[in-house]
Amino acid sequence: MVDFTNPDAWTWMKNIIKDNMVKEGRGAGWMHDFGEYAPFDAVYFDGSDPVIYHNKYPEDWAAVVKEALDEVVDGEDIVYFMRAGTGKSPKNTRLYWMGDQLTTLDHYDGLQSAMIGLLNGGVSGATIGHSDIGGYTSIIEEDFGITFLKYVRSKETLQRWIEMNTFSDPIQRSHPSNIPEAQHQIYDDDDTVLFFKKFVEIHVKLADYKLNLMKEAEEKGSPFTRSLMMHFPDDPHARRSDSEFMLGENILVAPIFLKDAVERDVYLPGPAEWTHLWDG
């Protein structure tokens, strides 16, 4: 952890970003990870209270990279994405992601929790976010040859995540997980490759629509992924919904969050007229 209350440490980190990440890396961006682990017993250069500075740390962690990119050629085209933040972080953060979900479908820490995180983050100022396609955290606990705890990504979970992220996120970014060899991966069979290809093509077709939503996020603070209540504030069910979302004001999305399910009930908020995207 770098002590950002020390001006020399701030400059040192900024130069690492400019020299290693931008000049040497030549990348379009990176995962600007962590920021949430500032210790409560730290002794800071400027004497800051470590308990108070703990919540400011992720704001500075974002600010140092924003300042570095302001000082390099074409720095505005580089996308760094973070998971840690405070109320003031969005001004220095270009993209969020929802952290490390389990490789499951559920609302506790799986696919549905990523959707809930996007909605809650969106109304809290973190307007542009996404999640790891397929989730990240896999667990296989064994003792004496007995498996007593197992969270492993299935093909179904991966495909459901691909579906949702196509309509919920500004970017498509998969993750092999922390135990790659145990998970179903996009490249594991032709069927999954073609499935991913289909939804990448939909993502590309939505480019103009998504760019307009990003512009709205910048100009108005409107979230990219929206709760139904944003556009239907007088609809009591829309205010309670935690299994559907809006991509802008024109697309309503109802993902599947149950294992082996091939259909679900969808609530259509109103007043509005709706047309099914696939069959008209």
Whether 219 is a known active-site residue: answer: no
Q: Which of 19, 24, 33, 59 is catalytic?
A: 33
User: Which DSSP string corresponds to the chain?
Assistant: ---TTSHHHHHHHHHHIIIIIIIIT--SEEE--------TT---TT---HHHHHHHHHHHHHHHHHHHHHTSTTGGG-EEEES---TTGGGG-SEEE----BSSSSTTTSHHHHHHHHHHHHHTT--SEE--BT-SB-EEEEETTEEEEEE---HHHHHHHHHHHHHH-SS--B---SSGGGS--TTSSHHHHHHHHHHHHHHHHTHHHHHHHHHHHHHH---SEE-GGGT-TT-HHHHH-SS-EEETTTEEE----STT---------SS-----TTT-
Indicate the pTM of the whole model. Answer: 0.94
The pLDDT of residue 120 is 94
More confident residue, 145 or 121: 121
* Active site (annotated) includes residue 33: yes
Catalytic residue among 67, 100, 109, 156: 100
Q: Is the pLDDT of residue 143 over 90?
A: no
Mean pLDDT score of the chain: 95
Mean of the pLDDT values across residues 134-152? 92
Active-site residue, from 19, 24, 36, 141 = 36
pLDDT(27) > 90: no
Q: Give tens-digit pLDDT for 156-172.
A: 999 999 999 999 999 99
The model's pLDDT over 119-129, given as tens digits with 9 standing for 90+, comes to 999 999 999 99
pLDDT score, position 110: 98
Task: Grade residue 102 by pLDDT with cuts at 50, 70 and 90.
Answer: very high
Residues of the chain above pLDDT 90, percent: 91
Render pLDDT for 50-92 as a digit per residue (tens, 0 to 9).
999 999 999 999 999 999 999 999 999 999 999 999 988 899 9
181-224 residue pLDDT tens: 999 999 999 999 999 999 999 999 999 999 999 999 999 999 99
Model confidence at 25: pLDDT above 80: no
Is 24 labeled as catalytic in the residue annotation?
Answer: no
